[in-house]
Structure 1
Amino acid sequence: MNVIVIGGGVAGAASAIALRRLGVEVTVYEAYAEPAGQVGSFLSLASNGLRVLRSLGVLEQVQRAGIDVPGQRMWSSSAKLLGDVPRGRLSGDELHSVTLMRGALVEALRAEALVAGAAIVTGERLVDAVTTEGGVRAVFASGRTAEASLLIGADGIRSATRSLLDPHAPTPEYAGLYSISGIADGIETEPGIFNLTFARNGAFIHLAAPGGKVWWSAQVSSPAQPELSRTDEEWLRHLAGLYRHEQVPSAILDATVELHRPTLMHRLDAIPVCQNDRIALLGDAGHPVGAGQGASMALEDALVLAQSLAAEPSIKAALSAYAAVRSDRVAKMVKAASDNRDAKTAGPLARWMRDLVMPVGVRLCYERATAWLYTHDCGELPTSRTPADSQARGARL
């Protein structure tokens, strides 16, 4: 059995690791020359995603690349503490959330995929995927073609694989939020705490980083899609005006020494076709979620798909089993992400109600409400197969 993975980000690299652990031949095709570059801001991995990394044998590498963040505090615009909870876990879980730059996570996963024996080809953009009698043929913009038993589309929210699988698939729409992040210096911030301020114009996140730095991200509520061509100085002036009512975010913006370019946040309607007999979507290509769970959900997908391929007698049966295992959990996560997004775009009355009710709700209900998410364990990969086992299984698939 051999597999083509489209996309060398978190979902694609994790899938390559999982499949190589089973002895499957894997080639990852990535459109960008350097997908592990410092593109975008930081992200967080919750306990459910970290369990997957442990199953794949890369937990320690990722922990070393990031920041241990055991706690989370939520603040109102007026700096009232709304909640103080474990970050991305329940209170009894010793597996602390990890926050790291997206590029660092991709780099760690890609390195492990290469060590595991996956091939990674960069600068190749998928333009067609044709199901054949014995598998699937991928066609790239360069004219290169490749054939495999299975093609996995792990190419993100603007997935080319999704459009090829279903020409009528929904397309991403601006969600009324955009994110812009940066690094500040000289601001005293308690280590190990992920701070989330529900500001008047959108959420503001910050945490202590190595070297006395502060990583921050502003998730700005804006019904109209913003003009992205501003200079860094213009963006900082703009943000300073938006967050002038919030003392800590204002101070962090004033102390900013590095700015990352803004990213539009998108929503995507439910995708009716996520697979056929030889092609499957993974991660954001099949179900963008956000809410701090995009990477963790992609990791879960990668492990469950590998487990299904190991357990089922055919690729068709494996893809059906994968969809059955993931569908309810993903649907619940998509709903939670939508609620999370709405909280960041709340109007004055909704903000007043939230500030009034949230301290009580967090204290009484937080762990019970999030247990389904953070305690989830996808399990382990099957024991590594011998070459003979892998060849025999490949013939059956």
Structure 2
Amino acid sequence: MRVIVIGGGVAGAASAIALRRIGAEVTVYEAYAEPAGQVGSFISLASNGLRVLRSLGVLEQVRRAGTDVPRQRMWSGSGKLLGDVPRGRLDGDELHSVTLMRGALVEALRAEAVALGAEVVTGERLVDAVTTEEGVRAVFASGREAGASLLVGADGIRSATRSLLAPDAPVPAYAGLYSVSGTADGVDTEPGVFNMTFARNGAFLHLAAPDGRIWWSAQVASPAPPDLALPGEEWLRRLAGLYGHERVPSEILAATTELHRPTLMHTLGAVPVRHDGRIVLTGDAAHPVGAGQGASMALEDALVLARSLAAEPSVAAALDAYDTARSARVAKMVRAARGNRDAKTAGPVARRLRDLVMPAGIRLFHERATAWLYIHDCGELPAVPPPAARTARDGDGLRQPVRPGGRPAVRG
């Protein structure tokens, strides 16, 4: 089976790994020259996502790129401890949540995909995809074309694949939150703890990074999106005013040495069509769930898709099985993400009520409320030996041998 993957981020690179492990020939097409660049800030992988990484054979590489975070503490704006719980897992689970920079995760996944024989082609943007009974043909802005048995749309929330698959699909909408993040020095923070402060103007997250600095992210509630082109000094000045009522966020902002590019948070209505028998959506292209689970859910998608393709007699049957396997879980995760956003944009009365009831609620209900999310196991890939060698299709349609070891170069 030959597979085209559109998008070289988390969903695309993970899909390439999973598909290569079931013996498919995989080419990843990425619009940007460097898909592993530092878009956004740090991301966290909970135990459900870590199980997928273990099944894909890349767990240790990802762990080395980040830091284990066994605990999560939630604080009120006044500094009151609202809860202290296992981070991204149930108590007793030895798979501690891992936090790392998004670019580091993409680099680790892409390196494993290439090592397994996937080809990564950068600088190619999808503009059309035509399906037939025999397969699918992708057309790129450069004029390049490529054919395959399956096209995987892993190209994010502004997916070109989604609009081709379902022209009436919803478009992303601003979620009333934007994120500004950075690193700070010289602020005493306990290692291994993910701290979330429910501040007056939005949540403030921080933790100790592997190098001793502080990684932080301000998720600011705002009815209208801000001007993302503001200079860094202006962003810090604004954040200092927004979080001036909270001591720890104020200290971290004052000690900031590096600012990352601000990003808007989005919502996406239910996608009416997620596959047509030859094209399938994964990750944020299908469901930008948020709630800190975007990367883990994309990893789950990749594994379940590969398992379905290995088990079913045809591509169309496999995509039906994949969609059935994922629909209920994704819908539940979307609802959880909505509640997560509501908690971060709460008004003054809701904040006071939350600060009163959250400590008892966490003690009594947290583990039961999150078990469905963290104990989920997508299973293992079948033991299918990958092809001993394959060929790569170059730009003019000729076939050429892959270099020794089955590892084609990453081509721009």
Same fold by TM (over 0.5)?
A: yes
**Where does residue 264 of structure 2 map in the other structure?**
264
**Where does residue 297 of structure 1 map in the other structure?**
297
User: 1:25-104, aligned counterparts within 5 Å?
Assistant: 25-104=25-104
- Measured at CA, do residues 123 and 387 of structure 1 come closer, stay the same or move farther in structure 2, by a change above 3 Å? closer
The reply on whether 1:128 has 2:128 as its aligned counterpart is yes
Q: Could you tell me how far apart the structure 2 residues matched to 1:349 and 1:215 are?
A: 30
Q: CA deviation digits over 1:236-286, x for unaligned, max 9?
A: 000000000000000000000000011000000011111101000000000
**Where does residue 181 of structure 2 map in the other structure?**
181
**Where does residue 162 of structure 2 map in the other structure?**
162
Q: Could you tell me how far apart the structure 2 residues matched to 1:386 and 1:2 are?
A: 13
Give 1:39 deviation, angstroms.
Answer: 2.1
Q: CA deviation digits over 1:141-179, x for unaligned, max 9?
A: 000000000000000000000000011100000000000
**Where does residue 192 of structure 2 map in the other structure?**
192
**Where does residue 394 of structure 1 map in the other structure?**
none
Give 1:228 deviation, angstroms.
Answer: 1.4
**Where does residue 380 of structure 1 map in the other structure?**
380
**Where does residue 338 of structure 1 map in the other structure?**
338
SS in 2 for 1:216: strand
Structure-1-length-normalised TM-score: 0.97
2:200 is aligned with what amino acid? R
**Where does residue 395 of structure 1 map in the other structure?**
none
Q: Could you tell me how far apart the structure 1 residues matched to 2:358 and 2:100 are?
A: 28
Do the aligned partners of 2:20 and 2:386 also contact (CA within 8 Å) in 1? no
**Where does residue 11 of structure 1 map in the other structure?**
11
SS in 2 for 1:331: helix
Q: CA deviation digits over 1:281-317, x for unaligned, max 9?
A: 0000000011110000000000000000000000000
Structure-2-length-normalised TM-score: 0.93
2:240 is aligned with what amino acid? A
The reply on whether 1:22 has 2:16 as its aligned counterpart is no
**How many pairs does the alignment contain?**
389
Q: Could you tell me how far apart the structure 2 residues matched to 1:386 and 1:189 are?
A: 45
Structure having the higher helix fraction is: 1
Give 1:133 deviation, angstroms.
Answer: 3.4
Q: Could you tell me how far apart the structure 1 residues matched to 2:73 and 2:275 are?
A: 40
Moved more, 226-235 or 79-88: 226-235
The reply on whether 1:244 has 2:244 as its aligned counterpart is yes
SS in 2 for 1:210: coil
Do the aligned partners of 2:21 and 2:386 also contact (CA within 8 Å) in 1? no
Q: Could you tell me how far apart the structure 2 residues matched to 1:229 and 1:104 are?
A: 25
Q: Could you tell me how far apart the structure 2 residues matched to 1:235 and 1:387 are?
A: 51
**Where does residue 214 of structure 1 map in the other structure?**
214
Q: Could you tell me how far apart the structure 2 residues matched to 1:35 and 1:387 are?
A: 27
Give 1:89 deviation, angstroms.
Answer: 0.2
1:135 is aligned with what amino acid? G
Do the aligned partners of 2:291 and 2:341 also contact (CA within 8 Å) in 1? yes
Q: Could you tell me how far apart the structure 1 residues matched to 2:245 and 2:110 are?
A: 42
Q: Could you tell me how far apart the structure 1 residues matched to 2:3 and 2:192 are?
A: 40
**Where does residue 227 of structure 2 map in the other structure?**
227
Q: Could you tell me how far apart the structure 1 residues matched to 2:185 and 2:138 are?
A: 47
**Where does residue 139 of structure 2 map in the other structure?**
139
**Where does residue 407 of structure 2 map in the other structure?**
none
Q: CA deviation digits over 1:173-230, x for unaligned, max 9?
A: 0000000000000000000000000000000000001332100000000001111121
Where does structure 1 differ by over 3 angstroms across 4 or more consecutive aligned residues?
A: 385-388
1:349 is aligned with what amino acid? V
Q: Could you tell me how far apart the structure 2 residues matched to 1:56 and 1:266 are?
A: 29
Gap regions ≥5 residues in structure 1: 391-397
Q: Could you tell me how far apart the structure 2 residues matched to 1:103 and 1:208 are?
A: 18
Q: Could you tell me how far apart the structure 2 residues matched to 1:118 and 1:204 are?
A: 39
SS in 2 for 1:175: strand
1:169 is aligned with what amino acid? A
- Measured at CA, do residues 386 and 51 of structure 1 come closer, stay the same or move farther in structure 2, by a change above 3 Å? closer
Give 1:387 deviation, angstroms.
Answer: 4.5
SS in 2 for 1:377: coil
**Where does residue 410 of structure 2 map in the other structure?**
none
Q: Could you tell me how far apart the structure 1 residues matched to 2:100 and 2:366 are?
A: 25
User: 1:271-286, aligned counterparts within 5 Å?
Assistant: 271-286=271-286
